[in-house]
Amino acid sequence: MADSGTSNANPVRTHAPWYGFATPFVGKSVRWASRLLHHGGSAFPGKVVERFDPTFLSRTLSTLPLGVVLVSGTNGKTTTTRMVATMLESLGLKVFTNPTGSNFTRGVVSSILTEVPLNGRLDADIAVLELDEAYAVHFVEQVQPRYALLLNVMRDQLDRFGEIDNTARLLGHVAAATRGTVVLNREDPRIARLRDVVKDGVRTRYFGLAEGLRHYFPADDDMTTTFQVQSADSAQAPEAADAQIVDVAHDVGTAHELHADVMLTKVGDHHAQMVIDGREYESDVKLEGVYNLFNAAAALAVVRAVAADAQSMFLPFEDALADSVDADGADAGTETDGNGSHDAIDQAAADEILRAAGVSPRMIAFAHATTQAMIDTAGEVTPAFGRGEVITVNGTPVELLLVKNPMGFRLSLASFKPEGCDTMICINDEYADGRDMSWLWDVDFTSLRASGVAMVSGVRAWDMALRLGYDQVPVADTNTDLEQAVTAFVNANPGTRKHIYCTYTAMLKTRAVLGRITEVRDAGVGK
């Protein structure tokens, strides 16, 4: 697609209702009261404000000079959003984000209420927002993002989203609404084909994998369970299966022909190698797991898109300033080489002119960021809450690993080796987890056979224990009382590292239990 023009870069301003001046006060009051009374959850103030002032969200975000980055997809939203926000902040920008993972529109509004002063103006250069796949559609009806980063489409919460292609259609609405740059996962055929809905004048960029790494990320259509593989029967006719395989293979082959702006080529222990613009770059990272390294590639792709826009916006202005200084030839603080070309300009004078023009010097500095500087910032990102978060209990590291669908669980099992560790699995089926737990049968648990699982808990503990039994994974204990189970698990075998795989609500409850045993940081969702 062609580069975005000025018309795509300008946000649509929404007029405030006559009572709009009172919205921040109302929202902050509700937030204070809900925290005091422990009622309503982190998104409750946003729900109230949405009804009180429906244009508050669009009106507030429309003032940001660099617009909105929207991050969505089945897996990796929270971690990748954290990466993008951290990288942009490290490169000098003021970033607004929704760090708690409250990824509904009302959750975004609630996050705004924590940052916005009573005058209603958000002090930030850019917003980096994680949105749930379904609620992203509602968000883009109010706010057209300048950038969209779409990660993947996998089976997840079928009771909410229905078939997997419906999830892709939801993300298609995001791609179609984006005004500047859409960044797509080249390796996911359903995501890659969203290039067809991107509007003329909007750029499309891709992140991808070297061929040797693609086996870590099978397409959803390629996934089969251990149980299915060992079964002699098949419910699908051979002709239908072959047709499906051919279709997927065609899509994947087409996607792999696309140029990846950032391509992950090698992975190691907390180390990654990437190819960007034909050049190899290496970086150490604090996050574990191949999927987090791929998330880093995705984050780099969208950060590079933002930087490219900043360069086009500000560097010509700076060049013009330098040319004007060169034309004078004798300006104080100015150096030129023997040919009379500009070498350096007085930074204080430049800053004064930029301030007079209403341009933030930090955005000019951001425009000068190198690719290596961007990669270095990725290496400083720490895990989001519950996504590889390590909580120390009596000197023993306890690692929380959020799992919510077959691909996420498979990648976590592949990334966090069970040897030398105690393993616990906690499965709930509340709304935020998805009611349908049949996806557990699409996870290969055979890597846990040798070490076994010390504890299984949660509302669906016995379902999980049954599934492990089919993969011949020994289970030492099963306890549906999560508080009892977590307490017993973390206190057993002191000094042995522990992994707790848990669905979303089980993760929140596990953090709450650990918060009564040891110090757990406040992630905005309670301890």
CATH (domain of 189): 3.40.1190.10
Q: What is the CATH number of the domain that holds 398?
A: 3.90.190.20
> Is the residue at 367 inside a domain?
no
> Is the residue at 47 inside a domain?
yes
Please name the residues in contact with 357: beta carbons below 8 A apart, sequence gap of 6 or more: 317
What's the pLDDT at 53? Answer: 79
> Is the residue at 380 inside a domain?
no
Domain identity same for 304 and 442:
no
The phi and psi torsions of 43 (rounded to 5 degrees) equal -95, -5
Residue 210 contacts residue 262 (beta carbons within 8 Å): no
Domain identity same for 33 and 175:
yes
Task: Report d(CA 337, CA 360) in Å as an integer.
Answer: 29
Task: Report d(CA 286, CA 298) in Å as an integer.
Answer: 16
Structure tokens, 339:
């040919």
Q: Which run of H or E residues covers position 336?
A: strand 335-336
**Pure H helices in 100-163:** 105-115, 133-142, 158-161
Residue 377 CA neighbour count, 13 Å, CB half: 22
Residue from 173, 194, 174, 176 nearest 184 by CA: 194
Of the residues 308, 340, 365, which one is the last residue of a structural domain? 308
For residue 84, give the amino acid letter.
V
Domain identity same for 60 and 184:
yes
Question: Cα torsion for 86, 409, 229, 419, to the nearest 10°?
Answer: 100
Task: Report d(CA 425, CA 122) in Å as an integer.
Answer: 41
Beta bridge partners of 130: 71
Residue from 317, 411, 406, 400 nearest 356 by CA: 317
What's the pLDDT at 411? Answer: 86
Domain identity same for 450 and 302:
no
pLDDT tens-digit profile of 483-521? 999 999 999 999 999 999 999 999 999 999 999 999 887
Number of domains within the chain: 2
Structure tokens, 200:
């003329």
What's the pLDDT at 33? Answer: 75
For residue 522, give the amino acid letter.
D
Domain identity same for 446 and 302:
no
Residue 92 CA neighbour count, 13 Å, CB half: 16
Structural domain range at position 469: 387-515
SS (H, E, C) 389-418: EEEEECCEEEEEEECCCHHHHHHHHHHCCC
Domain identity same for 299 and 443:
no
For residue 146, give the amino acid letter.
R
> Is the residue at 83 inside a domain?
yes
Task: Report d(CA 476, CA 488) in Å as an integer.
Answer: 12
Structure tokens, 388:
């590889």
Residue from 74, 157, 78, 87 nearest 400 by CA: 78
Kindly tell me the burial class for residue 38, based on how many C-beta atoms sit within 10 Å of its own C-beta (0-12, 13-18, 19 or more): exposed
What's the pLDDT at 125? Answer: 93
> Is the residue at 521 inside a domain?
no
Of the residues 308, 335, 367, which one is the last residue of a structural domain? 308
Domain identity same for 295 and 396:
no
Residue 456: Cβ within 10 Å count: 29
What's the pLDDT at 343? Answer: 44
In the predicted model, residues of the chain with pLDDT beneath 50 are 1-10, 227-250, 330-343, 526-527
Task: Report d(CA 126, CA 192) in Å as an integer.
Answer: 26
Please name the residues in contact with 431: beta carbons below 8 A apart, sequence gap of 6 or more: none
Domain identity same for 300 and 443:
no
Of the residues 281, 308, 335, which one is the last residue of a structural domain? 308
> Is the residue at 113 inside a domain?
yes
What's the pLDDT at 178? Answer: 97
Residue 90, SS3?
Answer: helix
Structure tokens, 142:
């109010």
> Is the residue at 370 inside a domain?
no
CA distances for 173 relative to 1, 6, 76, 197, 370, angstroms: 17, 22, 20, 8, 32
> Is the residue at 524 inside a domain?
no
Task: Report d(CA 120, CA 63) in Å as an integer.
Answer: 10
Domain identity same for 153 and 25:
yes
Domain identity same for 26 and 156:
yes
pLDDT tens-digit profile of 17-60? 766 767 877 767 777 777 666 665 567 777 777 778 788 888 99
Task: Report d(CA 189, CA 209) in Å as an integer.
Answer: 13
Q: Using a cut of 0.75, tell me whether the model's pTM lies above it.
A: yes
